[in-house]
Structure 1
Amino acid sequence: MHWLFLVLGGLAEVAFAFCLGKGKLTAGMESAGWYAAFGSSAALSFYLLNLSLARVPLGTAYAVWTGIGAVGTVGLGVLVFGDPLTGPRLFFLTTLVGSLLGLKMVSA
């Protein structure tokens, strides 16, 4: 269950990064809505990370949480914001995912 909290917290981190990106592209009340969603997503992300720490070691949890956020945010950047997906970026994302899976395999 604690790993589920960690994964969901990482996905909420992706959500708050997405909200920042959308907020930057808008103005007025629409922008305020995106920034409110950012705050809610950030609070949820930190809360879920905190719940996971009851059983997942701190260093592992933080690395996995930020890794999910990084990989997910790059994916959204490519799909939604038109960021480039080059060979080197894909290579390093793949090594990051491999490292995250390795941390899961060697952790409680």
Structure 2
Amino acid sequence: MNWAILVVAGLFEIGWAIGLKYTEGFTRLWPSVATGLSMLISVWLLGIAMKTLPVGTAYAVWVGIGAMGTVVLGILLFDDPASPLRLISLLLIGAGIVGLKLASG
């Protein structure tokens, strides 16, 4: 169950990372509120997941999910570059997440 909570925490991390772009430096009220709530929910869920998961694994998976999702949405929403090296790097992050999950049992 805590792995599922960790994945949801990672999804909220993607939400706040992308939300930062829409806040325009926290000058827009509602995007700033949504981004702040996403931050709080993400860290709260991470804390819950860490009750039973190893801290290093949980944190690395949380960051990895957030990084991968943010890069993909950056490409789709903001025309960030999608070079072969960036895409290969995403695959490596994904492999690291899977490896940490497998190593944690």
Which bin holds the TM-score, normalised by the shorter protein?
Answer: over 0.9
Separation in structure 1 between the aligned mates of residue 87 and residue 18 of structure 2, nearest angstrom = 20
Deviations along 1:4-58, whole A, 9 cap, x unmatched?
A: 110000000000011111112896xxx1100100110000000000000111100
Partner of residue 10, structure 1: 10
Partner of residue 67, structure 2: 70
Question: How many positions carry a matched residue from both structures?
Answer: 105
Name stretches of at least 5 consecutive residues in structure 1 with no aligned partner.
none
The alignment partner of 2:18 has SS state of helix
The percentage of aligned residue pairs carrying the same residue is 41
Change (3 A) 1:56 1:84: same
- Runs of 4+ aligned structure 1 residues displaced above 2 Å come to none
Partner of residue 94, structure 2: 97
Separation in structure 2 between the aligned mates of residue 105 and residue 94 of structure 1, nearest angstrom = 16
